[in-house]
Amino acid sequence: MSGAAPRRLRIAVIGAGMSGILCGIKLREAGLGDIVIYEKADRIGGTWRENRYPGLSCDVPSHSYTYSFEPNPEWSHLFSPGPEIQAYFEGVVAKYDVATLIRFNSPIVRADYDAGRWQLTTADGDTDTFDVVIAATGFLHQPAYPDIPGLDSFAGAAFHSARWDDRVSLKDQRVGVIGTGSTAVQITSAVIDEVSHFSLFQRTAQWVLAYPNPPYSETDRAGFRQHPEKMREIYHYWLNRFRDTFARAVIGDEQELNKIQAYCRDNLERNVHDADLRARLTPDYKVACKRLIMSDTFYPALQRPNASLVTAGIERIEPRGIRTVDGQLHELDVLVLATGFHAHRFMQPMAVTGRNGLTLEQAWADAALAHRAVALPDFPNFFMLCGPNSPIGNFSVILISEIQLAYVTRLIERLRRGDCRALVPRAAATADFNAAVREAMKGTVWVSGCRSWYLDRHGNPAMWPWSFERFVDDMQAPDWSEYELIA
């Protein structure tokens, strides 16, 4: 088909969070203007729309948690709060007129490939047909609820942290939080002065890096407005610092890893004064095996007179509170489940059927695997951003999406040029890539002995086991020998 007139492709993007917004902007800039973005909710934002809990913030410095082409001079802090991040994305949508591409309140329940095109079906039963589908569904959007006996029997207010109930006041209430990840840590610091008593139920201690979160003054922000190059310098400073320290530590640089662990241990020893509490807050695994916690307020908050760290296992939940295995009833008025997300479901529970009737459920029966994290054998013209084995625990997720979308756009360009009607990664190339991932993963911190959301049900990390430079190099241009071009 080479030499044919350029095709006008219809492209569907699923999700209007960070990656979906990016697709709307960059695909249109590339001349691929027939785009529909399907969003399940009534507004954009993804995880920053879903999460509204007290203390919500990003653990990536704000000036590097932006699109590379859209710096923001108005950040209030080094690590800015969630509502500011949501406002940033809303501002980007308005500036680039992305909302005209979005169909809100339109969750996709089915995607079916037939004769070179994809038919998408919404929950309302509406259908439409597209040449290309990009799943920008993210990975932290399906709340994980704990399997604890009696959970439904609790008489007070109970909700997941990603489904925060704004109608519930915490003032002078006895509040319990199950979980000790970043969300629970942020909630602890944010509500400790408001509640009558705070109980944090810990299954696993966390390594905490005491990173300060200074505000930007009006003078700082005025300087950013007047000198945008300063924001560019800060953007690259933080990305480079992250790349040369933490990102190297997690893939096998023991010297860097030991430095980070020393900082965390020093934070614990300096700032937790009671020996028993310090012992219970000391992890028994390597730093960064679980996602590293960034907070200089958590330890002080947990040592307030109205705070308790509960490390006895939870036996059951009762109408009046949580009963632990030591027989104690911890009476509560409000229960918050900061128990994370199903991070390995990606676009599921959407039903996806590729060629020859193969379903995504069948393809991923053993594990969620992809070719170079963006494409799937037997699912032609179907691409993912932040899919399996993306470096979501290594680098800024926005930069990851930008790099992956540039790669996907190069794939789509072959379709537009008429070189083929569809393309799909070869099964052998995909198997080779994932075998290399598994081998390289043996040298990473994620398999050093802890339980984390990075691991799938078989204990395999869906992460990137190599350097940032390797990621950029892999995404520079497709190796066409790895793809089947379908006429």
| Tokens coding 34 | 């027939």
Residue 418 contacts residue 1 (beta carbons within 8 Å): yes
| Tokens coding 421 | 């009607």
Kindly report, as residue ranges, where domains of CATH 3.50.50.60 are found in the chain: 11-142+342-486, 151-207+268-337
Backbone angles phi, psi at 404, to 5 degrees: -65, -40
Residues 6+ apart with CB under 8 A from 436: none
What residues pair up with 25 in beta bridges, in sequence order? Answer: none
User: Helix (H) and strand (E) counts for the chain?
Assistant: 14, 21
pTM of the model: 0.96
Chain centre to alpha carbon of residue 431: 25
What's the confidence (pLDDT) of residue 456? Answer: 87
Which parts of the chain sit beneath pLDDT 50?
Answer: 1-2
Distances in whole angstroms, Cα of residue 441 to Cα of each of 445, 461, 467: 8, 8, 12
d(CA 273, CA 297): 14
417: number of CA atoms within 13 Å, CB side? 11
Helical spans, DSSP H, in 364-426: 397-417
d(CA 33, CA 27): 7
SS3 360: helix
Please state the CATH superfamily assignment of the domain spanning residues 11-142+342-486 in this structure.
FAD/NAD(P)-binding domain (3.50.50.60)
What's the confidence (pLDDT) of residue 250? Answer: 97
423: number of CA atoms within 13 Å, CB side? 26
What's the confidence (pLDDT) of residue 4? Answer: 55
Interstrand relation of 483-486 and 422-425 (parallel, antiparallel or unpaired) = antiparallel
| Residue whose pair of structure tokens reads 């859209």 in the numeric block | 70
| Tokens coding 179 | 């979980």
Instruction: Domain 151-207+268-337: give its CATH code.
Output: 3.50.50.60
What's the confidence (pLDDT) of residue 1? Answer: 43
